[in-house]
C-alpha cells in the first residue's frame, strides 16, 4: 500500500472515532446518528451538480449500501444504549475487518498476501483485547455485545459493497456524494417515522454539534471509499479499525471511562498489525 494512502486512511480512522464520540451528545442515540447523517447529506448537496450522477451500473451497489448502512445505524445506536463506547466500539469495529478479509478473498478475489493476513489478524486481536473490560462494567452486557456483533456484519457488508460500487462507478467521489445524500434522505425518513416531527426541534438545538460530527463522518468515509479503489478492500477496512485507538483515548479523556492495562497491551498489538499491513 502506498504511503499516502496509508496515512490518509489513518487520518480517516481518527475522524471516524471523532464522530462516534458525538453520539454521546444529549440526544436519543438513533436521533444523534440521524442528525449526523442528515447534516452530512446537506454538506455534499452543493457538490453534486459539479460531479454529476453515477453510471447506471453503480446504482444497485448504492441501494445495497443504503440498506447495510441503515442496519449499521440501528445496530450501533442500540449497542450504545446499554454499553460503554470503550466496550461496544472495539467489538463492533474489531470483528468487521476479519469478516471483510474473508469476504474480499472469496467474493472479490483480492489476494492480500501473508503479511497482509498476519497484519489483519494481529490488529484484530489487539482490537478484541481492547474490548476486554473496556467499559465501566467488569463483564459484557449481552444485549450490547449482540448488537455490536450485528453491527460488525453490516460493516463488512457495506465495505464490500462500497468498494465494488465505487470501482464500478469509475469515480469514487461521485459514488461517495450520492451515497451520503441517499443515506441522509433515508435517515431523515426513518427518524421522522420513528420519532415524528418534534425531533426536528431537537435537531435545531444541536445543529452545531451535528455539523462537526457530520463533517468528520463525511471525511472519514469519503477517504475510505477512495482508498478502496486504489488498494485492497480488506487492507483498507483493517486500517480503518485503528480508530479504536482514537476511540479509546476519547473514552478515557473525554467520557471518563477507566484506563486499564489491556488497553495498553492492545495498543501495542494494533501498532504491530499496522506495521505488517504497511509492509504488505
Distance CA 251, CA 89 (A): 10
In the DSSP assignment, the letter for residue 58 is G
Beta strands per DSSP E along 46-99: none
Write out pLDDT tens, residues 83-117: 776 677 677 777 888 888 888 888 888 878 888 88
Asked whether residue 166 carries a pLDDT value surpassing 80, the answer given is: yes
pLDDT band at 30 (very low <50, low <70, confident <90, very high): confident
Reading the block at residue 154, the C-alpha cell is 453490516
Residue 140 is predicted with a pLDDT of 57
Question: For the chain, give me the number of helices (H) and strands (E)?
Answer: 13, 0
Q: How confident is the model at residue 138 (pLDDT cuts 50, 70, 90)?
A: very low
In angstroms, rounded to a whole number, what is the distance separating the alpha carbons of residues 251 and 98? 24
Higher pLDDT, 86 or 137: 86
Q: What is the pLDDT of residues 54-85, one digit of tens each?
A: 999 999 999 999 999 999 888 887 887 777 76
123 against 94, higher pLDDT: 123
Domain ranges of the chain: 3-279
Whole-number pLDDT of residue 62: 96
Structure confidence by residue, pLDDT tens digits, 248-271 = 777 677 667 666 676 778 777 887
Q: What is the pTM of this model?
A: 0.83
66/217: higher pLDDT: 66
Instruction: For residue 203, count other CB atoms closer than 10 A to its CB.
Output: 18
Query: What's the whole-number mean pLDDT along residues 127-148?
Result: 67
Q: Would you mind telling me the total number of residues written for the chain in this entry?
A: 280
- Weakest-pLDDT range from 34-43, 139-148, 178-187, 227-236: 139-148
| Surface-to-core class of residue 57, CB atoms within 10 Å of its CB (0-12 exposed, 13-18 middle, 19+ buried) | exposed
Percent of the chain scored above 90 by pLDDT?
30
Amino acid at each position: 500500500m502506498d504511503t499516502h494512502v496509508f496515512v490518509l486512511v489513518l487520518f480517516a480512522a481518527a475522524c471516524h472515532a471523532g464522530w462516534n464520540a458525538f453520539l454521546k451528545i444529549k440526544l436519543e442515540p438513533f436521533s444523534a446518528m440521524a442528525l449526523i447523517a442528515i447534516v452530512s447529506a446537506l454538506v455534499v448537496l452543493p457538490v453534486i451538480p459539479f460531479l454529476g450522477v453515477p453510471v447506471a451500473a453503480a446504482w444497485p451497489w448504492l441501494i445495497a449500501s443504503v440498506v447495510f448502512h441503515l442496519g449499521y445505524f440501528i445496530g450501533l445506536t442500540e449497542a450504545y444504549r446499554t454499553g460503554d463506547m470503550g466496550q461496544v466500539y472495539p467489538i463492533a469495529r474489531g470483528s468487521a475487518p476479519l469478516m471483510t478479509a474473508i469476504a474480499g478473498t472469496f467474493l472479490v478475489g483480492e489476494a492480500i498476501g501473508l503479511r497482509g493476513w498476519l497484519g489483519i489478524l494481529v490488529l484484530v486481536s489487539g482490537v478484541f483485547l481492547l474490548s476486554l473490560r473496556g467499559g465501566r462494567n467488569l463483564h459484557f452486557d449481552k444485549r450490547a455485545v449482540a448488537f455490536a456483533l450485528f453491527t460488525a456484519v453490516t460493516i463488512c457488508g457495506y465495505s464490500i459493497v462500497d468498494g465494488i460500487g465505487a470501482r464500478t462507478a469509475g469515480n469514487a467521489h461521485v459514488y461517495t456524494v450520492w451515497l451520503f445524500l441517499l443515506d441522509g434522505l433515508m435517515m431523515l425518513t426513518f427518524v421522522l417515522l420513528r420519532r415524528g416531527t418534534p425531533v426536528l426541534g431537537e435537531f435545531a438545538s444541536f445543529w452545531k454539534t451535528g455539523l462537526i460530527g457530520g463533517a468528520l463522518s463525511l471525511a472519514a468515509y469519503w477517504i475510505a471509499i477512495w482508498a478502496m479503489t486504489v488498494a485492497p478492500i480488506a487492507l483498507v477496512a483493517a486500517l480503518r479499525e485503528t480508530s479504536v485507538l482514537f476511540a479509546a483515548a476519547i473514552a478515557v479523556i473525554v467520557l471518563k471511562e477507566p484506563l486499564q492495562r489491556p488497553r495498553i497491551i492492545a495498543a501495542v498489538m494494533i501498532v504491530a498489525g499496522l506495521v505488517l499491513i504497511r509492509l504488505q
